[in-house]
């Protein structure tokens, strides 16, 4: 699967919509400062596909609530070209996700957040989240796995990428459980020893049984005492109940007598109240005589008050009409003032007839009508049309001049780019020169290797002769001649030493000459390599300039068309408006000032018409008020006389009301006299009934002393029964406690007996866990034996591709340490190679590891992200790694797309990139994505 497109809406610091469309095959550079959001782009892919726990949904929406979050990843199967879309979103905290074919969006394959992640892991890609990240994402630290890391750290990190953390976590958990099992077994054995030390379990059980028997006998005796006390209490309660029955009957008669006493008190109160009410009625009858003459004045007083009220209404009407006339006159004056102010505020004094005089102020209706006629005679539309025409022509003239300047600037920039390209190809085609220098470098390296081999042969021959000469010089003749294989004799020694010494000197001189030749040739090869890199840089610049020239030519054509269009539009506008020529700035300002003047005057017309109507209405109100005053005539109203008449009327009406109330109360006198007589009769009847009830109560014969004695006897019997019950409760509690102690003792004996069984079980569990732990220890070795051959094969293929077959075979040790074969059967560790060669080999090994992990998938991801892998490299090694990546992308199908994230400035200039995307951060902390592949050319043009 390759990445066809990435769409991001409001994901973390990326506000708004961003779309990312990489090429189907190639390398994309993602550049920008640290913290700008480069890694967040690819984190969005991880979140969309798998929604892992490491990326918390609550932290995904951007700050500020700019909108709903949505990420859409489009994956393409390069085998059949089918595109699948994975879309995940967040809106108001709710998550949505679905997978569908791009050509069938109406028929989702799967929906739901969890279902989408499971489908991606099992079907669409076929890798779980951790395996996908191991394949898809590579950081700077991971490029040092096979170079600078220690064995243990390297084995742990490679195991993490291979998904072995779960195995190691399980082994750690087994080890902790094994330790706990052993500790539990020791603790249980120690508890058993402490619990059994100095104890006789049989004696303890016998004593507990004996105590239970004794407590059972005590409980039976206490039960007998409770039964006897109950019989005594029953007799005492019978006697007490008889006396209490007499007490209840006596109490009933007492309540009856108390009720009769209450009725007598109520009847007496009724008789006294009736007498007092009769006395009050006699007093009211005497006061009625004085109220009759006052109440008789009420009709005359009511007529006088009504006459005063009519005159008061006429007086109030007169005062209101005078106020209305004054307000109307003031409104007319205000209208005249506002009309004068409107004339002044319009600032149109230069218009003929636009003034406000004293005559206008005295007659604002006529003045407003005159001003309205002046405004209606103005040609406002004509003045505005002329001002607009002149301003439009002036703007078109400015646009034409700007278009001409832009055409000139673009033409000069294009001419400069053409000059740069001519300078770069002045000495010939850089690509052909790079090929020639590459061939020369290889030839020099081959000759240097031949010289080194010859020097090594001369050295080996010299080293064989030197021990023989040394032995002969020390008169040791047990050796043989290396040419004829005869044993040396003393007479041959001197001649042989001299001959061998000459040969040694000749071989040494030959070796030194060959080594000098090797050094010279390697220096020559290095010079050719530098020339090759310079030629490649020039070739990349030429290719880049070609693209910029094409883009620049397009910009020049567009600028020329824009200039010609501006010239035509300017000419047509001047002709269309009927102007004699291009307007001057003074003409434009004058026309605009005239249009503004007329517009200001015209804008006052609604106000003037409204004020004219206000003046007319004020005049009409003043005239109506004057007519009302004339119709009303003279008014005479005395407010004091009106008040005195109203007070006298109120007094007469109060007298009438009091007379009516007195008559109503005097009508109750017969009923009050009857109530007093009935109350006296009730008192006589109640007294006779009370005497009869008192005699019946005395006949009952209640003896309070006997009742008290019976109650005391019952109390004594109850106390005796309570004591018997307490004794029985104590005996039963003692029996229950004894039985509980017996049960607890039996349970404790059983628990102590099981401690041994539990200790044995935990010991067996610890032994089983120990065996499991040792098996897991051998798991790393098993994995290394199975993985390293395949990893070495993939690494060798990649390394051969980028070194053109110089290194094509590698091996990994049990700690994943990398060893490289140097063109023969001899292998060397990474430390024996140069820094650039180590970087290339480590990169190939890491990519091979990604290839292995991704190979487990049903549809392996064909894209890889390298995140800040150049941070610790100098410029030269950085260029070598970039060249390696370019070779890998061109020579293997395993990595269709490479995304290289970097904040290093010179990475952008590398010729390996097919596209360059830049991530920037605004002052508000918002990230933005921009395609800058051809931006430099566009900036200059």
What is the residue-wise DSSP string for 102-167? TT-TTS-SEESHHHHHHHIIIIIS---HHHHHHHHEEEGGGGGTTTTS-HHHHHHHHHHHTT-HHH
Which pLDDT does position 5 carry in this prediction? Answer: 93
Which pLDDT does position 112 carry in this prediction? Answer: 92
User: What distance in Å separates the CA atoms of residue 841 and residue 820, rounded to the nearest whole number?
Assistant: 9
Which pLDDT does position 776 carry in this prediction? Answer: 66
Residue 362 exposed, middle or buried by CB count within 10 Å (0-12, 13-18, 19+) = exposed
| CB neighbours of residue 99 within 10 Å | 24
Both tokens assigned to 443:
């030839």
Mean pLDDT of 348-357: 77
User: What distance in Å separates the CA atoms of residue 824 and residue 822, rounded to the nearest whole number?
Assistant: 6
In sequence order, which ranges of 803-921 are alpha helices (DSSP H)?
835-854, 875-891
Report percent pLDDT > 90 for the chain.
Answer: 6
Q: What is the pLDDT of residues 773-797, one digit of tens each?
A: 777 666 666 666 777 888 888 888 8
User: What distance in Å separates the CA atoms of residue 42 and residue 647, rounded to the nearest whole number?
Assistant: 99
Helices (H) and strands (E) in the chain, counts: 20, 15
Which pLDDT does position 98 carry in this prediction? Answer: 95
Which pLDDT does position 940 carry in this prediction? Answer: 34
Q: How far is CA 344 from the centre of its chain?
A: 61
Q: How far is CA 468 from the centre of its chain?
A: 85
Is residue 858 within 8 A of residue 125, CB to CB? The reply is yes
Which pLDDT does position 484 carry in this prediction? Answer: 46
Which pLDDT does position 102 carry in this prediction? Answer: 92
Which pLDDT does position 939 carry in this prediction? Answer: 38
Q: Is the pLDDT of residue 492 over 60?
A: no
Mean pLDDT of 821-845: 77
Which pLDDT does position 873 carry in this prediction? Answer: 66
Is residue 892 within 8 A of residue 801, CB to CB? The reply is yes
Mean pLDDT of 250-260: 85
Q: What is the pLDDT of residues 526-546, one digit of tens each?
A: 898 888 888 888 888 888 888
User: What distance in Å separates the CA atoms of residue 190 and residue 184, rounded to the nearest whole number?
Assistant: 10
Q: What is the pLDDT of residues 103-160, one digit of tens each?
A: 998 999 999 999 999 999 888 888 788 777 777 777 655 655 565 667 666 666 676 6
Which pLDDT does position 7 carry in this prediction? Answer: 94
User: What distance in Å separates the CA atoms of residue 469 and residue 646, rounded to the nearest whole number?
Assistant: 165
Q: What is the pLDDT of residues 386-419, one digit of tens each?
A: 888 888 888 888 888 888 898 888 898 888 888 8
Both tokens assigned to 594:
């005239």
Q: What is the pLDDT of residues 696-709, one digit of tens each?
A: 878 887 788 888 88
Which pLDDT does position 35 carry in this prediction? Answer: 82
Q: Which of 136-140, 594-598, 749-753 has the lowest mean pLDDT?
A: 136-140
Which pLDDT does position 149 carry in this prediction? Answer: 65
Mean pLDDT of 798-826: 78
Q: What is the largest CA-CA distance in the chain?
A: 194
What distances in angstroms separate CA 313 from CA 302, 310, 320, 408, 650, one per listed residue? Answer: 17, 5, 11, 93, 21
Both tokens assigned to 565:
């269009």
Is residue 898 within 8 A of residue 137, CB to CB? The reply is no
Q: Is the pLDDT of residue 363 over 80?
A: yes
| CB neighbours of residue 19 within 10 Å | 12
Q: For residue 25, what is the DSSP state?
A: S
Which pLDDT does position 44 carry in this prediction? Answer: 92
Residue 811 CB partners (closer than 8 Å, separation 6+):
788, 792, 818, 819, 821, 827
Which pLDDT does position 73 carry in this prediction? Answer: 95
Q: Is the pLDDT of residue 618 over 80?
A: yes
Predicted confidence band at 49 (pLDDT cuts at 50, 70, 90)? very high
Q: Which of 358-362, 844-848, 872-876 has the lowest mean pLDDT?
A: 872-876
Which pLDDT does position 483 carry in this prediction? Answer: 45
Report percent pLDDT > 70 for the chain.
Answer: 89
Predicted confidence band at 890 (pLDDT cuts at 50, 70, 90)? low
User: What distance in Å separates the CA atoms of residue 755 and residue 192, rounded to the nearest whole number?
Assistant: 6
Both tokens assigned to 794:
């993939």
The predicted model scores a pTM of: 0.40
Predicted confidence band at 163 (pLDDT cuts at 50, 70, 90)? low
Which pLDDT does position 507 carry in this prediction? Answer: 82
Q: In terms of DSSP bridges, do strands 94-101 and 83-91 run parallel, antiparallel, or are they unpaired?
A: antiparallel
Closest CA to 49 of 118, 131, 137, 134: 118
Mean pLDDT of 278-299: 82
Q: Which of 707-711, 739-743, 835-839 has the lowest mean pLDDT?
A: 835-839
Check residues 136 and 753 and name the one with the higher pLDDT. Answer: 753
User: What distance in Å separates the CA atoms of residue 916 and residue 856, rounded to the nearest whole number?
Assistant: 31
Q: In terms of DSSP bridges, do strands 94-101 and 137-139 run parallel, antiparallel, or are they unpaired?
A: unpaired
Which pLDDT does position 936 carry in this prediction? Answer: 45
Is residue 161 within 8 A of residue 853, CB to CB? The reply is yes
Mean pLDDT of the chain: 81
Q: Is the pLDDT of residue 937 over 50?
A: no
Tell me if residue 520 falls in helix, strand or coil.
helix
User: What distance in Å separates the CA atoms of residue 637 and residue 316, rounded to the nearest whole number?
Assistant: 10
Question: Which residue in the block uniquely carries the two structure tokens 């240097």?
Answer: 448
Both tokens assigned to 177:
């459980």
Question: What is the gyration radius of the CA atoms in the chain, in angstroms?
Answer: 61
Residue 574, CB-side half-sphere exposure with 13 Å CA sphere: 14
User: What distance in Å separates the CA atoms of residue 75 and residue 82, rounded to the nearest whole number?
Assistant: 8
Q: Is the pLDDT of residue 485 over 70?
A: no
Predicted confidence band at 4 (pLDDT cuts at 50, 70, 90)? very high
In angstroms, the first-to-last Cα distance of the chain is: 39
Is residue 50 within 8 A of residue 73, CB to CB? The reply is no
Q: Is the pLDDT of residue 823 over 70?
A: no
Predicted confidence band at 97 (pLDDT cuts at 50, 70, 90)? very high
- The interaxial angle of helices 835-854 and 875-891, nearest 10 deg, is 40
Q: For residue 480, what is the DSSP state?
A: B
Residue 72 exposed, middle or buried by CB count within 10 Å (0-12, 13-18, 19+) = middle
Which pLDDT does position 755 carry in this prediction? Answer: 81
User: What distance in Å separates the CA atoms of residue 376 and residue 460, rounded to the nearest whole number?
Assistant: 121
């Amino acid at each position: 699967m390759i990445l066809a497109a990435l769409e991001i809406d409001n994901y973390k610091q990326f506000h708004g919509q961003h779309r990312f469309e990489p090429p189907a095959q190639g390398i994309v550079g993602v550049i920008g400062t640290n913290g700008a959001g480069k890694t967040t782009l690819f984190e969005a892919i991880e979140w969309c596909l798998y929604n892992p726990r490491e990326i918390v949904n609550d932290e995904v929406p951007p700050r500020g609530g700019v909108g709903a979050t949505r990420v859409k990843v489009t994956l393409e199967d390069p085998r059949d070209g089918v595109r699948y879309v994975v879309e995940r979103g967040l809106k108001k905290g709710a998550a949505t996700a679905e997978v569908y074919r791009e050509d069938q969006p109406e028929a989702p394959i799967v929906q739901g957040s969890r279902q989408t992640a499971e489908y991606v892991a099992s079907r669409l890609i076929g890798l779980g989240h951790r395996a996908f990240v191991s394949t898809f994402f590579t950081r700077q630290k991971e490029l040092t796995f096979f170079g600078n890391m220690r064995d243990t750290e390297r084995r742990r990190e490679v195991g993490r990428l291979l998904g072995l953390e779960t195995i190691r976590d399980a082994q750690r958990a087994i080890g902790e459980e094994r330790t706990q099992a052993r500790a539990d077994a020791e603790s249980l054995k120690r508890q058993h020893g402490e619990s059994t030390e100095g104890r006789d379990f049989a004696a303890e059980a016998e004593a507990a049984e004996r105590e239970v028997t004794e407590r059972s006998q005590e409980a039976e005796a206490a039960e007998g005492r409770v039964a006897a006390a109950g019989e005594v209490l029953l007799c005492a309660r019978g006697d007490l109940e008889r006396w209490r029955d007499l007490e209840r009957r006596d109490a009933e008669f007492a309540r009856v007598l108390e009720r009769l006493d209450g009725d007598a008190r109520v009847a007496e109160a009724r008789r006294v109240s009736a007498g007092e009410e009769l006395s009050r009625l006699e007093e009211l009858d005497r006061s009625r005589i004085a109220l009759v003459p006052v109440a008789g004045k009420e009709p005359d007083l009511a007529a006088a008050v009504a006459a005063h009220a009519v005159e008061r209404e006429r007086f109030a009407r007169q005062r209101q009409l005078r106020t209305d006339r004054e307000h109307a006159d003031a409104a007319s004056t205000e209208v005249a003032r506002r009309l004068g102010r409107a004339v002044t505020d319009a600032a149109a004094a230069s218009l003929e007839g636009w003034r406000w005089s004293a005559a206008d102020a005295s007659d604002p209706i006529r003045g407003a009508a005159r001003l309205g006629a002046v405004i209606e005679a103005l040609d406002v539309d004509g003045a505005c049309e002329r001002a607009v025409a002149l301003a439009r022509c002036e703007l078109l003239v400015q646009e034409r001049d700007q278009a001409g300047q832009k055409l000139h600037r673009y033409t000069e920039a294009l001419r400069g780019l053409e000059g740069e390209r001519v300078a770069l190809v002045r000495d010939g085609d850089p690509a052909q020169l790079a090929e020639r220098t590459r061939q020369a470098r290889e030839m020099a390296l081959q000759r240097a290797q031949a010289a080194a081999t010859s020097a090594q042969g001369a050295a080996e021959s010299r080293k064989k002769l030197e021990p023989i000469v040394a032995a002969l010089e020390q008169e040791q003749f047990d050796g043989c001649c290396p040419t004829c294989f005869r044993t040396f004799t003393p007479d041959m020694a001197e001649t042989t030493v001299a001959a061998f010494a000459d040969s040694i000197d000749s071989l040494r001189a030959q070796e030194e000459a060959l080594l000098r030749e090797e050094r010279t040739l390697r220096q020559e090869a290095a010079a050719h390599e530098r020339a090759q890199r310079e030629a490649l840089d020039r070739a990349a610049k030429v290719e880049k300039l070609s693209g910029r020239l094409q883009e620049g030519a397009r910009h020049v054509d567009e600028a020329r068309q824009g200039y010609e269009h501006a010239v035509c539009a300017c000419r047509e506008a001047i002709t269309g408006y009927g102007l004699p020529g291009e307007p001057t700035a003074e003409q434009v300002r004058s026309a605009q000032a005239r249009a503004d003047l007329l517009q200001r005057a015209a804008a006052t017309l609604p106000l003037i018409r409204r004020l004219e109507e206000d003046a007319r209405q004020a005049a009409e109100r003043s005239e109506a008020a004057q007519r009302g005053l004339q119709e009303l005539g003279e008014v005479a109203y005395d407010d004091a006389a009106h008040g005195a008449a109203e007070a006298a009327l109120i007094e007469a009406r109060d007298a009438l009301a009091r007379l009516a109330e007195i008559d109503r109360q005097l009508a109750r006198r017969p009923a009050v006299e009857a109530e007093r007589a009935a109350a006296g009769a009730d008192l006589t009847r109640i007294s006779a009934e009370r005497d009869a009830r008192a005699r019946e109560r005395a006949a009952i014969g209640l003896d309070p002393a006997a009742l008290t004695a019976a109650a005391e006897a019952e109390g004594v019997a109850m106390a005796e029964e309570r004591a018997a019950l307490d004794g029985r409760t104590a005996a039963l509690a003692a029996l229950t406690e004894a039985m509980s102690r017996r049960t607890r003792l039996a349970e404790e004996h059983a628990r102590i007996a099981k401690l041994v069984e539990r200790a044995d079980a935990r010991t067996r569990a610890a032994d089983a866990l120990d065996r499991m732990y040792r098996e897991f220890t051998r798991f790393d070795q098993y994995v290394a034996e199975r993985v390293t051959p395949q990893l070495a094969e993939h690494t060798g293929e990649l390394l051969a591709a980028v070194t053109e077959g110089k290194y094509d075979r590698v091996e990994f040790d049990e700690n994943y340490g990398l060893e490289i074969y140097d063109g023969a059967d001899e292998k060397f560790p990474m430390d024996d190679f140069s820094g650039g060669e180590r970087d290339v080999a480590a990169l190939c090994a890491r990519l091979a590891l990604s290839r292995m992990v991704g190979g487990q998938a049903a549809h392996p991801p064909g894209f890889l992200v390298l995140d800040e892998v150049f941070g610790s490299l100098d410029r030269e090694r950085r260029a070598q790694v970039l060249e390696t990546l370019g070779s890998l992308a061109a020579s293997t199908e395993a990595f269709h797309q490479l995304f290289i994230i970097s904040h290093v400035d010179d990475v952008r200039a590398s010729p390996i990139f097919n596209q360059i995307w830049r991530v920037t951060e605004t002052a508000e902390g918002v990230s933005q994505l921009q395609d800058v592949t051809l931006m430099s050319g566009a900036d200059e043009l």
